[in-house]
A and B are shown apart, each in its own frame.
Chain A
Amino acid sequence: MSTIDKTLFNAVETELLRFTTAGSVDDGKSTLIGRLLVDTKGVFEDQLDAAKSVEDKKGAKGAHLALLTDGLQAEREQGITIDVAYRYFATPKRKFIIADTPGHEQYTRNMVTGASTANLAIILIDARKGVLTQSRRHAYISRLLGIPHLVVAINKMDLVDYSEEVYDKIRQDFTDFHGKLSIPGGDITFIPISALEGDMVVERGSNMPWYEGPTLLEKLESAPVEGKINAEDFRFPVQYVSRPQTEELHDFRGYMGRIESGSVKVGDAITVLPSGLTSKIKEIVTWEGNLKEAWAPMSVTLTLADERDISRGDMIVHTDNQPRVEKEITTMICWMHETPLQPGKKYLIKHATNTVKAMVTSLVERVDVNTLEHIAAPAELKMNEIGKVSLKLLKPIACDAYADNRATGGFIVIDDFTNMTVGAGMIQ
């Protein structure tokens, strides 16, 4: 116990980066994640031993890296990933949450799910195969979901003799089509790696002296973590109204929720939407005591200077910075269920803390996620398809365009008969 790395104690001061990984079946994604976990000591010896004992039986080199991340029995039997899994590791600089999503065509919905909470996406490309249809799909979905930082990891460099020419060619091909997808504040980094041998993942290795950019881990440790949060526009969906009615808190009425974007100070002039009632922030209450100022993504309790009729589903915003309040919205939707979305159908949408009935008034177009072609007025949207849809809502909601604000522009679609989550929407 005498020689403990002091940096580990300082870890309470570190930031949290959430990222997602997308790759096709044989791109080596599980191997890469295994490599990151092993080389950053994010995996314990007994877990590694268990994976290695399976590898010994199968005899494939490096297979234990992939086995570390296989979760369910069906996946281990079939050697594939069928659902989103979450992994965790830390370095002295940062903590990381990986949303590990499978890349096959039929699992667009899983990639959308993983991308929804990520601030960075790693898109894996097999150096031998170059930019494929699915690489385009992965880039499109990452940008559609508003992920600002893309890392294109060109994997299996060991199988192309660590060739700089191969790297350059793929980089150029990817850049050519990616031009159409660029988003404000977005960036893209190309890194040649060998997940199997470890080059340029955590260690630089000695096989690619021609590459001078960051290793994958260096990139993960330096990408801004707050990129996915809108820092300007204060949005506070009311989750729960606290009225303890105890003796000492007889008249307390607090609005509990999470600051989804921006920040708020005591005394700020606010408006409650959709009603339009106005007041001022009286207190920002937390367990630790009242704050003068709070910001996203903090969970706090607000009290107001005036008694107002406010309930769950309302949104508190700055009077001088308000979102749209709309009953008719145009939105991109990724469909996630076997029963297709069709014009005229009714669903529920959950947007912020509101659950509202919605009717599909028209299906404007479908985007072919492989070619990025737009197909006008399709009859329906099938599972794993993405399209532009017009919705009419029973009640107005306070919302922003998803591109400006992920928290107030995203919603889920729920089938009100089966209660299944059947789609994900991004308001335009």
Chain B
Amino acid sequence: MTTKKTLTHLQTLEAESIHIMREVVAEFRNPVMLYSIGKDSSVMLHLARKAFAPGPLPFSLLHVDTGYKFKEMYEFRDWYAKEIGAKLIVHRNEEAIAQGAHPLKLGVARCCGALKTKALLDALEAGGYDAAMGGARRDEERSRAKERIFSFRDEFGQWDPKSQRPELWDLYNCRVHEGESIRVFPISNWTEMDIWQYIKLENIPIVPLYYAKERPMVKRGNMLIPGDDPANLKEGEVAENVMCRFRTLGCSPCTGAVYSDATTIEEIVAESAIATRSERETRIIDHGSNSMEDKKKEGYF
């Protein structure tokens, strides 16, 4: 008789993610990891370090920067990449940034299209990457729930949700022709709660914006928008100090905060456990006429 050997759900998810990343490195010629500085990226990066220990990361990190990320995010990114000895590539759509692209000027959809989707596609092309790992989760949004872990992109970087490759067992089809690529989502099966529990369990460093503190914010509809940069404010809006934190991190003009007193990771886990609203609710990009599905078809991460 052998004793019962089981894994907890987090150990199971961890083993799956590590298996996925090793498969990427073994099968692709030139993979890269998309790093967005957020909590999901932090978990994915931590899993990658585990996957290839005791060796170094066998790929670079690619940050597609819009120039509108929070100051704390840039500080964290540069500190952490150095801390773990990762090679970090930053790509920006300099042309659009120079032309003053801003969500209040262009509208959210066009701004995202230029600074995120186009920048991402250009960066992937410039690097000649045949696989790009990203920290998207299937529980985030309903079109993501239908995406494969290894998700095929044609030579234009586009996703066709209706003709996806069947994905069975843990056997991933990694084959692509020249110019085509695969987006790989190693943490597809993690939920927001899993992410927070794992960050707590593994003491993974995260951007301080996830913790509650008093920040200057403006109330716009039922959203709390950062109010420290006058360029992000609409006419008549006045910032006031609010005890709040961010559940997800994107560009500062388009990412809302939630009222919160959670100043420790334990309090964040507890708050997530009883949260009644989804985290994507604080992301303006998800609520325009252009759905996540449409954006993903065009090549959005």
CA distance A380 to B276 in the complex (A): 52
Q: In whole angstroms, what is the CA distance A295 to B26 when docked?
A: 22
A299→B51 contact, CB < 8 A: yes
Known contacts A46-B281, A298-B11: A287-B53 contact under CB 8 Å? yes
Contact A116 B18 (CB under 8 A): no
A-B pair count, CB < 8 Å, reads 200
Q: Which residues in chain B, 275-293, are within 8 Å of chain A measured between CB atoms?
A: 275-278, 281, 291, 293
Determine the chain B residues whose CB is within 8 A of the CB of A278 once the complex forms.
Answer: none
B: which residues have CB within 8 A of A?
Answer: 2, 4-16, 18-19, 22-23, 25-26, 49-56, 138-139, 142-143, 145-146, 161-162, 164-171, 173, 175-177, 188-189, 191, 193-194, 197, 201, 261-262, 267, 269-271, 273-278, 281, 291, 293
**Could you list 19 examples of A-B contacts with CB < 8 Å?**
A5-B273, A12-B197, A15-B8, A44-B278, A86-B138, A86-B146, A88-B139, A88-B191, A95-B194, A109-B166, A117-B168, A240-B26, A246-B56, A258-B15, A258-B170, A287-B53, A296-B5, A353-B26, A410-B171
Which residues of A lie under 8 Å from residue B271 when comparing CB positions? Answer: 1
| B146 pairs with A14, CB closer than 8 A | no
Please tell me if A356 contacts chain B, counting CB pairs below 8 Å.
Answer: no
Question: Known: A44-B278, A71-B145, A86-B145. Contact between A257 and B22, CB under 8 A?
Answer: yes
Q: How large is the interface on A (under 10, 10 to 19, 20 to 34, 35 or more residues)?
A: 35 or more
Candidates A87, A95, A109, A258; contact of B145 at CB < 8 Å: A87
Q: Which A-chain residue is minimally distant from B18 (CB atoms)?
A: A299
A406 interface residue per 8 A CB criterion: yes
Cβ of A258 and Cβ of B8 under 8 Å apart? no
CA distance A84 to B197 in the complex (A): 27
Q: In the docked arrangement, what's the CA distance between A90 and B191, Å? A: 10
A416 to chain B: which residues have CB within 8 Å?
175
Q: Which residues of chain B are within 8 angstroms of A53 by Cβ–Cβ distance?
A: none
Q: Which of B165, B188, B271 has the most CB of A within 10 A?
A: B165
| Complex alpha-carbon distance, A289 and B49, angstroms | 13
Does A231 reach chain B (CB closer than 8 Å)? yes
Specify which of A9, A249, A257, A406 is in contact with B55 (CB 8 Å cutoff). A249
- Knowing A1-B270, A16-B12, A16-B13 touch, does A286 contact B281 (C-beta < 8 A)? no
Q: Is the interface of A mostly helix, strand, loop or mixed?
A: mixed
Picked from B189, B201, B262, the residue with its CB within 8 Å of the CB of A86 is B189
Task: Please give, as numbers and ranges, the residues of chain A lying within 8 Å of B278 by CB-CB distance.
Answer: 44, 46-47
Write out the residue numbers on chain A whose beta carbons fall within 8 Å of the beta carbon of B12.
15-16, 297
Q: Which residues of B contact A74 (CB under 8 A)?
A: 162
Minimum distance in angstroms from A371 CB to a CB of chain B: 25
Q: What residues of chain B lie closer than 8 Å to A85, measured between beta carbons? A: 142, 145-146
List of B residues within 8 angstroms of A70 by Cβ: 142
Q: Within 8 Å CB of B18, what residues of A?
A: 258, 299
Q: Which of B11, B139, B168, B188 makes the CB contact (< 8 A) with A412?
A: B168
Report the bound CA distance from A249 to B173 in whole Å: 32
A14→B8 CA distance, assembly (Å): 6
Q: Are B51 and A46 in contact (CB under 8 A)?
A: no
A424 at the A/B interface (Cβ < 8 Å)?
yes
Q: Are B54 and A113 in contact (CB under 8 A)?
A: no
**With an 8 A cutoff between CB atoms, is A183 at the interface?**
no
Closest 7 CB pairs of A and B: A244-B55, A16-B9, A44-B278, A299-B18, A8-B273, A287-B50, A116-B168
A249-B56 Cα distance, complex, nearest whole Å: 11
B27 to chain A minimum Cβ distance, whole angstroms, is 9
B56 close to A244 (CB less than 8 A): yes
Contact of A246 among B55, B138, B270 (CB under 8 A): B55
How far is it, in angstroms, between the C-alpha of A116 and the C-alpha of B172 when the chains are bound?
A: 13
Enumerate A215-255 residues with CB–CB distance to B below 8 Å.
225-226, 231, 239-240, 242-244, 246, 249, 252, 254
Decide: B167 and A226 in contact? CB cutoff 8 A: no
Q: How far is the CB of B131 from chain A (nearest CB, A)?
A: 14
B293 touches A73 (CB 8 A): yes
Q: List 10 extra interface pairs beyond A12-B8, A258-B19, A419-B177, CB under 8 A.
A: A44-B281, A45-B276, A226-B4, A242-B52, A252-B55, A254-B55, A299-B51, A407-B170, A412-B171, A414-B175
Structural contact, B2 and A4, CB atoms closer than 8 A: no
In the complex, whether A11 has a CB less than 8 A from a CB of chain B is yes
Per the bound structure, the CA–CA distance linking A416 and B193 in Å amounts to 40
Report whether A424 and B276 are in contact in the complex, using a CB–CB cutoff of 8 Å: no
Q: What residues of chain B lie closer than 8 Å to A69, measured between beta carbons? A: 142
Please tell me if the beta carbons of A83 and B16 are within 8 angstroms of each other in the complex: no
CA distance A263 to B6 in the complex (A): 11
* Residues in A neighbouring B52, C-beta threshold 8 A: 242, 256
Bound: A353/B16 CA distance, A:
15
Q: Which residue of chain A lies nearest to B163 when distances are taken between CB atoms in the complex?
A: A420
Complex partner residue of B169 from A90, A109, A117, A225, CB under 8 angstroms: A117
Q: Verify B270–A8 contact, CB threshold 8 A.
A: yes
CA distance A411 to B166 in the complex (A): 12
CB distance from A69 to the nearest CB of B (A): 8
B191 touches A297 (CB 8 A): no
Given A90-B193, A244-B56; A421-B16 close (CB under 8 Å)? no
User: Is A71 a contact partner of B191 (Cβ separation < 8 A)?
Assistant: no
If A239-B26, A244-B55 touch, whether A1 touches B261 (CB-CB below 8 Å) is yes
B23 and A239 contact, CB distance less than 8 A: yes
